[in-house]
Amino acid sequence: MEAGHATGSAPARREGLAGLAKLDFGADGTPLQAKPALGAALGLSGPFFVKRDDRAGMGMGGNKTRKLQYVVADALEGGADVLITCGAVQSNHACLTAVCGAAAGLEVHLVLAGDPSQMRGGNLVVDGLAAARLHFVAGDAWDVLVAESERLAEDLRREGRRPYVIPVGASTPLGAVGYADAYLELLGQLDAAGVTADWLVTACGSGGTQAGLVAGRALAGRGPRVLGVDVSKGGGELRDVVAALAAGSLELLGSDAAVPPDDVVLVDGAGPGYGQVFPESREMVHSALRAAGLLLDPVYTSKAMAALPGLVGAGRIAAGDTVVFLHTGGLAALFAPAYEEALR
Ligand SMILES: Cc1ncc(COP(=O)(O)O)c(C=O)c1O
């Protein structure tokens, strides 16, 4: 049995960065694996590694686990008895909130955008197994989801409950601290292996993951530059969100380190749009599996990795650079029939 995972008991509490409350959802210490054949397939001649946050220890893994280690701890500290969050029908974040919330003994409500009949399977299966209460809303406008989450929280408060609303993607300064953690953990792994990496590449959606990594780099004052691949056509607005979240995390951590503006590097990798598979991202799923036995997801990691050959071709990343790819998970979506079809 792994430390901190006593069967049948609530997750262990431990002290996180700067003494912040943190739960142990088994997200710390994910493997760092060399994947040379995959690196070569991407056009890299230098060392290529994958940081396996798809193996983070809850549900089917994924990046939200590290954020939720801090955010759910904060909910418990504040006396919450219900978690509410929102996202797309196949939201990995919503699903991991359902799983982590259940493990922490909390009721979980998910406000999901879209039509469940068009997007069956995948994360929805896990949401159901975790006994999350699902509320579907038409359309996919974020402000509608946020308003519905707030309305639900109000209803629950009237019933005497103590809801805690987690914003989209748990991309708050506190959630992002989970990725400052991850950056420092990665540096330790690279140091132990005697590797100096040039780049850390991640998919970027709501911005918290990249923000935390950038904050971690500012804290360490060294380490690979962080390159985010925007999978949602967030553009300049997303860059501002990442910068603001990184600054917010550093403030929360009591650090006066600053994030230089050119440390927030974002490139477009969305293809036709958020959640839509395109030829290069489809081919990436197949070629990562062939080259390295690595499963990528259809919405985030396949798009982020598919951006690499172009970045190398354009000289943005030198072919001989040492690159770490952060595998942020999302694998349950592979088992949603609509994505299974699109990837075939
Ligand atoms: C699998 C996966 N990868 C990457 C991301 C992007 O992370 P963030 O929302 O923190 O930018 C998400 C969530 O949006 C995700 O579910």
CB 5 within 8 A of CB 24: yes
pLDDT of 60 higher than 90? yes
Using 50, 70 and 90 to split pLDDT, how confident is the model at 9?
A: low
* Same domain for 310 and 292: yes
**Ordered strands of the 82-88 beta sheet:** 133-137, 107-113, 82-88, 163-166
* Atom 3, ligand 1: residue with shortest CA distance: 328
Residue 2 — pLDDT band, cuts 50, 70, 90?
Answer: very low
121 and 240 inside one domain: no
DSSP 323: E
d(CA 44, CA 37): 9
- H-assigned helices in 34-91: 36-41, 64-77
Residues with CB under 6 A from ligand 1: 62-63, 92-93, 169, 171, 203-210, 297, 300, 328-330
Residue 1 above 80 pLDDT?
no
How many domains would you assign to the chain? 2
Residues 328 and 239 in one domain: yes
The verdict on residue 176 lying in a domain is yes
Q: Is 171 considered catalytic here?
A: no
Residue with tokens 């801090």: 70
pLDDT level of residue 267 (50, 70, 90 thresholds): very high
Domain co-membership, 46 together with 104 = no
Query: 135, 170, 205 — which closes off a domain?
Result: 170
* Confidence (pLDDT) at 329: 98
Residue 91 CA, ligand 1 centroid: distance in Å: 9
b/e sequence 150-177, b meaning 16+ C-beta within 10 Å: eebbeebeeeeeebbbbbbbbbbbbbbb
Over residues 129-138, mean pLDDT: 95
In whole angstroms, what is the distance from residue 94 CA to residue 100 CA? 10
CA of 159 to the centre of ligand 1 (A): 33
Candidates 9, 91, 117, 149; catalytic one:
91
Q: Are 222 and 298 members of one domain? A: yes
Q: How confident is the model at residue 107 (pLDDT cuts 50, 70, 90)?
A: very high
Task: Using a pLDDT cut of 90, give the percent of the chain over it.
Answer: 91
For ligand 1, pick from 50, 64, 241 the residue to mutate: most ligand atoms within 8 Å of CB: 64
CA of residue 61 to ligand 1 center, whole Å = 12
Q: What is the pLDDT of residues 157-213, one digit of tens each?
A: 999 999 999 999 999 999 999 999 999 999 999 999 999 999 999 999 999 999 999
pLDDT band at 13 (very low <50, low <70, confident <90, very high): confident
User: Residue 79's domain is classified under what CATH number?
Assistant: 3.40.50.1100
Q: Find the mean pLDDT for residues 34-52.
A: 98
For residue 241, give the nearest of 151, 153, 152, 142 by alpha carbon. 142
